[in-house]
Amino acid sequence: MSPVGDARAAKVRFQCAEAIVEIEGDLVHKRRIEKRYRVKEIDERIRRERTKSEAKLISEARRKGVPTPIIFDVNDYELVMEKIEGDLAREVINEDISERIGEFVGIVHKSGIVHGDLTTSNIIVGADDRIYFIDFGLSFIELSTEARGVDVHVFFQSLEGTHESYGQLKESFITGYKRTFPQAAQVLKRAEEIERRGRYVER
């Protein structure tokens, strides 16, 4: 997804299927957009719940020691949060960054949170050199090996798509993940199984 609009304007705008994200000054507004194929009342309830849930889990992750944007305001369908200065992990990832991502994902999982969309486009390497996790719109609380395995699998897939030294970045992630998360081994094993299932389905 690339920003839309005039590069000289103060406002930068991203639009995906679920939300419009506007960056203005130090603030990010993320507004969940209407889905016309859903019954209006249900659509409004879903958007309100996802907005609240995203705010809650972003804050919860930060309380556990994982850098995330500070939430300033939660309205019906809109979050107002801190703008993180930096680059998407997708653009700048290296072995050191991948290992630190692994450490934080271990903390996220240990805290009972599953990110739900753990790609290098949802991780920002801050100008302050910290690693920030964003986009908790599909996150949920769950302790299962399967849900954690899907997170790890999705992360590995996002590495595969954009990076040449895929194998090394994956190993670095694993080193970090094992350091902070006692159940890492079983989740990594499950992530491999999920990958095999995926390949089977594609054939």
| Residues found near ligand ADP in the complex (CB under 6 A) | 14, 16, 18-19, 21, 23, 28, 30, 69, 81-84, 88, 121-122, 124, 134-135, 137
CB-based burial, 143-173: b 16+ in 10 Å, e otherwise: eebebbbbbbbbbbbbbeeebeeeeebbebb
Cβ of residue 81: shortest distance to Mg ion, in angstroms?
13
The helix (run of H) or strand (run of E) holding residue 113 is strand 113-114
Long-range pairs for 92-98: beta carbons < 8 A, 24 or more residues apart = 92/125, 93/120, 93/125, 93/159, 93/163, 93/169, 94/169, 95/165, 95/168, 95/169, 95/172, 96/172, 97/125, 97/131, 98/159, 98/169, 98/170, 98/172, 98/173, 98/176
Site residues, Mg ion (CB under 5 A): 122, 135
76 is catalytic: no
Q: Tell me the β-bridge partners of 145.
A: none
Closer to ligand ADP by CB, 63 or 203: give it.
63
Cβ of residue 198: shortest distance to ligand ADP, in angstroms?
22
What are the structure tokens assigned to 71, written together? 């939430």
Closer to ligand ADP by CB, 4 or 42: give it.
4
Which of ligand ADP, Mg ion, none does residue 137 bind (CB under 5 to 8 Å by kind)? ligand ADP
Cβ of residue 136: shortest distance to ligand ADP, in angstroms?
8
Closer to ligand ADP by CB, 83 or 178: give it.
83
* Catalytic residue (choose from 73, 76, 117, 135): 117
Cβ of residue 54: shortest distance to ligand ADP, in angstroms?
8
Which of ligand ADP, Mg ion, none does residue 61 bind (CB under 5 to 8 Å by kind)? none
Q: Quick one: which of 99, 102, 97, 142 has its CA closest to 118?
A: 102
Which of Mg ion, ligand ADP, none does residue 84 bind (CB under 5 to 8 Å by kind)? ligand ADP
Q: Which residues are catalytic?
A: 117
